Amino acid sequence: MGGATVKNLHSSLERFSSGDRRALARIITLVENRSPEVPHLMGALYPKCGRARVLGVTGPPGAGKSTLTDKLIGLLRKQGRRVAVIAVDPSSPFSGGAILGDRVRMQEHFLDQGVFIRSLATRGRHGGLARATREIVHLFDAFGFDDVVVETVGVGQTELDIMRLAQTTVVVLVPEAGDTIQVMKAGLLEIADIFAVNKADRDGARRLKNELEVMLQLRPDADWQVPVLLTQATDGSGVTELLDAVCAHEELREKQPVPDEGEARLQEWYEILRDELSLRLDRALDGETLAPTAEQLRRGETDPYSAALETLANPAALVRMLGAPGEDDP
Amino acid sequence: MGGATVKNLHSSLERFSSGDRRALARIITLVENRSPEVPHLMGALYPKCGRARVLGVTGPPGAGKSTLTDKLIGLLRKQGRRVAVIAVDPSSPFSGGAILGDRVRMQEHFLDQGVFIRSLATRGRHGGLARATREIVHLFDAFGFDDVVVETVGVGQTELDIMRLAQTTVVVLVPEAGDTIQVMKAGLLEIADIFAVNKADRDGARRLKNELEVMLQLRPDADWQVPVLLTQATDGSGVTELLDAVCAHEELREKQPVPDEGEARLQEWYEILRDELSLRLDRALDGETLAPTAEQLRRGETDPYSAALETLANPAALVRMLGAPGEDDP
């Protein structure tokens, strides 16, 4: 790292550690932009992580996840807990929509310094989304939030990966969201610690609850009986019971043997290595390092396989391609 | 590469070049197993590629793609063309099923040296599937097959990536496969050069054909009017017309300006680099190179970010981790 960058990092970290919300927001933007500073920042903040409770809220679009999250925030604030929310919607190419959503939701908690809501703009970079979400969870955790809510639209593998970050996962469904077979196909049955059947005043809510309960008998889970709760996010009914269920699940987890933190660190390290290599390769392809090889390929003087092997077999070329950016700066 | 490995490679390539089908089968297995020799083999064979016609056949499960492919093989053999088939089914975790499928289908062409059918066992490695398929297409091409048929179950992004390998793509549908909206959602409308409405004796076949034709008016395509053909793979009706349409599409392509081969080589090189790096990282994590770092992480003496940065910033560590396997052998 260059000297100027290191100084900037230190200053950002100091402001972050003194509780400066703008410093937090700026570091989140660095994570979103996959800036080269991010691993350095995360390494520095890592020792402060591991205290926050991470709650996942997922379900199909229009199930009322955001309204439900808003009501949960209200209850948690009454308990004096500081709450951060990260909303991830990989299926939406419109970060504009997400930002508008933030603004609307922010109104209620706008002046509350104990609440921080942020949408993760995805811009089609599927691969790094789970990593970016985890890094933002780490940031909220290190910043001192007691609860971090990760909200996703639950439909694909990316969302399931993201939900593994949560200690407790609430799956929100509505009667018209389709049958329970869809729930199974989407893998939601496996990840749910709690089901919330929202918009419970509508037709079919009780039937959906019954179907889910029947289906849950297929899932053997000795310690925890997955509850299926009826909620109405708009008027807040059922939300207290939902939070009680979250706390009960959390208490159970605390009684269980501590998960292997060493293995979790190894897994995270592995994902960072993979993602960093892919990121550095992208940068190298955009830059000058590989331009001579690209030119040879364009002219047909070599083939893709021989060109790749040549670069990978040449230690100097490998380091030029993948070494840390700015590594040689004074 | 070690001396013994180089000698083995040369011998494999010699037998491959003399038309030894067992050598072809063995090299395909190397590709499936992602062996370190593969880029060397592909580099050596690359100059022999670019002659085969690559035909994609995709559609939902049960549409009759395999039976249709069998009938196409029959017609192509009558024209004296040599045909190879690669069947890819990323959604199936059972390679056993695919192999059984091969056996059943092979019966008809079992003694025919002009036909080669192979299923690609996927074993859950989604990432490298498009690369493996392309490599096997290259192998068939270099081996001297005139036609290579790539058959996939068309449902996700992986299949769409694979279909980009084909010069002409046939999308096979059946009346009961669901409505045309599903076709649009699955991206099949964009990739189809020809639609085959199979099992055309069933109810709804004509309606599906009409719906597709209406939908195709939404797709502006000045040079090529995508035909919607009615076929019945079981008795072979409509298959001659299907092959005629494939040939017409091929002729049109040959009249068009040559696509930028340089850019195609660059894209392939980039994908090989990305995939090789990910593969070598996997091997390094399984091996001894990174064991000391893993031990530090297990004991909590470092964090995942600092550990990753340290490895990536150290040129010697980077080369140990990603340099070619066996590079130092005599």
| Residue A267 confidence (pLDDT) above 50 | yes
Residues 6+ apart with CB under 8 A from B245: B194, B227, B229
| Residue B238 confidence (pLDDT) above 60 | yes
Q: Could you list the beta-strand ranges (E) of B30-129.
A: 53-59, 83-88, 115-120
> What pLDDT, in 10s, does the model give residues B195-207?
999 999 988 899 9
Q: How confident is the model at residue B177 (pLDDT cuts 50, 70, 90)?
A: low
Residue recorded with tokens 């691993």: A39
What percent of chain B has a predicted confidence (pLDDT) above 90? 42
| Residue B97 confidence (pLDDT) above 60 | no
What type of residue sits at position A247?
C
Same domain, A19 and A75: no
Please, are residues A58 and A163 in contact by the beta-carbon 8 Å criterion? yes
Q: How far apart are CA A108 and CA A114, in angstroms?
A: 12
What pLDDT, on the 0 to 100 scale, is given for residue A21?
93
Same domain, A57 and A97: yes
Q: How far apart are CA A21 and CA A113, in angstroms?
A: 9
What percent of chain B has a predicted confidence (pLDDT) above 70? 83
Say yes or no: A301 contacts chain B, CB-CB below 8 A: no
Q: How confident is the model at residue A113 (pLDDT cuts 50, 70, 90)?
A: confident
Q: Scanning every residue of chain A, which has its alpha carbon at the shortest distance from the alpha carbon of B275?
A: A278
Q: How far apart are CA A144 and CA A134, in angstroms?
A: 16
Same domain, B38 and B121: no
pLDDT mean over A15-24: 94
What pLDDT, on the 0 to 100 scale, is given for residue A73?
93
Same domain, B82 and B195: yes
| Residue B125 confidence (pLDDT) above 60 | no
Residue A2: CB atoms within 10 A of its CB come to: 13
Contacts of residue A319 in chain B, CB cutoff 8 Å? 315, 318-319
Same domain, B270 and B237: no
Same domain, B217 and B70: yes
Please, are residues A140 and A114 in contact by the beta-carbon 8 Å criterion? no
**ipTM of the complex as predicted:** 0.80
What pLDDT, on the 0 to 100 scale, is given for residue A230?
96
Interface test with B, best of A277, A278, A280, A306 (most B CBs within 10 A): A277
Question: A323 and B315 in contact by Cβ < 8 A?
Answer: yes
Domain annotation covers residue B330? no
Give Dmax (Cα) for chain A. Answer: 70
Domain annotation covers residue B247? yes
Which of A311 and B154 is assigned the larger pLDDT?
Answer: A311
> What pLDDT, in 10s, does the model give residues A130-168?
889 999 999 999 999 999 999 987 666 777 778 888 999
Domain count, chain A: 3
Domain annotation covers residue B22? yes
Q: Scanning every residue of chain A, which has its alpha carbon at the shortest distance from the alpha carbon of B304?
A: A269
Question: Domain boundary at A216, A232, A256, which?
Answer: A256
Lowest mean pLDDT: which of B51-60, B139-148, B255-264?
A: B255-264
Window B:66-125, CB contacts with A under 8 Å: none
Residues 6+ apart with CB under 8 A from A79: none
Same domain, A42 and A161: no
What pLDDT, on the 0 to 100 scale, is given for residue B83?
96
Question: Domain boundary at A256, A279, A310, which?
Answer: A256
Same domain, B214 and B138: yes
What pLDDT, on the 0 to 100 scale, is given for residue B104?
52
Same domain, B247 and B211: yes
Q: What is the DSSP string of B214-273?
A: HHHTTS--SS----EEE-BTTTTBTHHHHHHHHHHHHHHHHHSPPP-HHHHHHHHHHHHH
Domain annotation covers residue A328? no
Q: How far apart are CA A81 and CA A73, in angstroms?
A: 9
| Residue A97 confidence (pLDDT) above 70 | no
Q: How confident is the model at residue A255 (pLDDT cuts 50, 70, 90)?
A: confident
What pLDDT, on the 0 to 100 scale, is given for residue A327?
44
Q: How confident is the model at residue B260 (pLDDT cuts 50, 70, 90)?
A: confident
Question: A318 and B323 in contact by Cβ < 8 A?
Answer: yes
Same domain, B32 and B180: no
What pLDDT, on the 0 to 100 scale, is given for residue B103?
44
What pLDDT, on the 0 to 100 scale, is given for residue B107?
57
What pLDDT, on the 0 to 100 scale, is given for residue B144?
96
Question: B318 and A322 in contact by Cβ < 8 A?
Answer: yes
A vs B: CB pairs below 8 A: 144
Same domain, B131 and B149: yes
Domain annotation covers residue B151? yes
Same domain, B129 and B224: yes
Domain annotation covers residue A228? yes
What pLDDT, on the 0 to 100 scale, is given for residue A100?
46
How many angstroms separate the CA of residue A323 from the nearest CA in chain B? 6
Interface test with B, best of A165, A266, A276, A302 (most B CBs within 10 A): A266
End-to-end CA distance of chain A: 8
Which of B17 and B33 is assigned the larger pLDDT?
Answer: B17
What pLDDT, on the 0 to 100 scale, is given for residue A150?
94
* CATH code of the domain containing A177: 3.40.50.300
Sheet of strand A83-88: strand arrangement = A115-120, A83-88, A147-153, A53-59, A168-173, A194-197, A228-230
Domain annotation covers residue B296? yes
Q: How confident is the model at residue B325 (pLDDT cuts 50, 70, 90)?
A: low
What pLDDT, on the 0 to 100 scale, is given for residue B95?
36
Window A:145-174, CB contacts with B under 8 Å: none
> What pLDDT, in 10s, does the model give residues A56-77?
999 887 788 888 999 999 999 9
Question: Domain boundary at A209, A230, A256, which?
Answer: A256
Say yes or no: A318 contacts chain B, CB-CB below 8 A: yes
Say yes or no: A293 contacts chain B, CB-CB below 8 A: yes
Strand B194-197, strand B228-230: pairing: parallel
Which of A132 and B5 is assigned the larger pLDDT?
Answer: A132
Q: How confident is the model at residue B179 (pLDDT cuts 50, 70, 90)?
A: low
What pLDDT, on the 0 to 100 scale, is given for residue A154?
61
Q: How far apart are CA A294 and CA A290, in angstroms?
A: 6
Mean residue pLDDT of chain A comes to 84
Question: B265 and A304 in contact by Cβ < 8 A?
Answer: yes
- Of the ranges A247-261, B194-208, B254-268, the best mean pLDDT one: B194-208
Contacts of residue B293 in chain A, CB cutoff 8 Å? 269
Lowest mean pLDDT: which of A206-220, A284-298, B37-51, B90-104?
A: B90-104
How many angstroms separate the CA of residue A282 from the nearest CA in chain B? 9
Domain annotation covers residue A330? no
> Could you list the residue range(s) of the whole structural domain that residue A302 is in?
263-322
Percent helix / strand / coil, chain A, rounded to 5: 55, 10, 30
pLDDT mean over B45-59: 93
| Residue B100 confidence (pLDDT) above 50 | no
| Residue A94 confidence (pLDDT) above 60 | no
- Of the ranges A89-103, A170-184, A290-304, B99-113, the best mean pLDDT one: A290-304
Alpha-carbon distances, residue A272 vs A140, A276, B185 (angstroms): 19, 6, 33
What pLDDT, on the 0 to 100 scale, is given for residue B14?
94
Give the residue ranges of DSSP H helices in A20-64.
Answer: 21-32, 38-45
> Residue B54's closest CA among B135, B149, B153?
B149
Q: How confident is the model at residue A237 (pLDDT cuts 50, 70, 90)?
A: very high
pLDDT mean over B8-23: 92
Cα B152 versus chain centre, distance: 8
Alpha-carbon distances, residue A126 vs A93, A164, B116, B126 (angstroms): 11, 16, 37, 14
Q: Scanning every residue of chain A, which has its alpha carbon at the shortest distance from the alpha carbon of B315?
A: A319
> What pLDDT, in 10s, does the model give residues B33-44?
888 899 999 999
Q: Scanning every residue of chain B, which has its alpha carbon at the shortest distance from the alpha carbon of A325?
A: B313
